[in-house]
Amino acid sequence: MRPHSSLAAFALVAWLAPALAGCSSRGSDAAATAVPSLRRYRIAPPAGAPVTIEVAIPPGWTEEPGRPDEPRLAIAGATARLLTFAALELRGDAAARMEKAIALQYGADAAGVERSDLPGGRVWMVAREPENLHARLFVPFEGGVLMGVAILAREAESRLPEVRTAFESIAIVAAP
């Protein structure tokens, strides 16, 4: 079994369950039955070998064409200034790599940033800035850290749980 493939499958099932629960035998709204699309990307750090990930992209999200190794996503009805995935090649054990990646994005003390430690050494963080929400999910892999990156306009705050759910579905399929 591929590393974390069960995590991606669980996320897909977790996403499907509420949508299917709302269905009735008399038909249902198309949005209620829409399911995420499992996508695969090869994300290369600035200097280093690419990491292959799978992620469940929600219905209503679109992808800029022609950028398979540097996906740029958009959320229908929301201002996403940046919605993508990035990788950093870092040395040290998983904890040291995560600490370095977080410090590079939010500063050494990450002051004022909301943090949620998740299973598998993952970390979800959100900085609430005057005009933007800067959210990231950090995922350790051998030799680096993969990040789901979202910079949303403050008026898109209601979409943050959707972003988090999508990012939590990230599975490392192959690392250098």
The structural domain count of the chain equals: 1
- Secondary structure of the chain as H, E, C letters: CCCCHHHHHHHHHHHHHHHHHCCCCCCCCHHHHCCCEEEEEEECCCCCCCEEEEEEECCCEEECCCCCCCCEEEECCCCEEEEEEEEEECCCCHHHHHHHHHHHHHCCCCCCCEEEECHHHCEEEEEECCCEEEEEEEEEECCEEEEEEEEEEHHHHHHHHHHHHHHHCCEEEECC
Show the domain range for 87. 5-174
CATH code of the domain containing 128:
3.40.1000
pLDDT more than 90, % of the chain: 69
Average pLDDT along the chain: 83
The residue ranking higher by pLDDT, 67 or 27, is: 67
Q: How high is the pLDDT of residue 69?
A: 74
The residue ranking higher by pLDDT, 67 or 105, is: 105
pLDDT band at 9 (very low <50, low <70, confident <90, very high): very low
Q: How high is the pLDDT of residue 48?
A: 85
Instruction: Please tell me whether the overall predicted TM-score, pTM, comes out greater than 0.85 for this model.
Output: no
Q: What is the pLDDT of residues 36-54, one digit of tens each?
A: 899 999 999 988 889 999 9
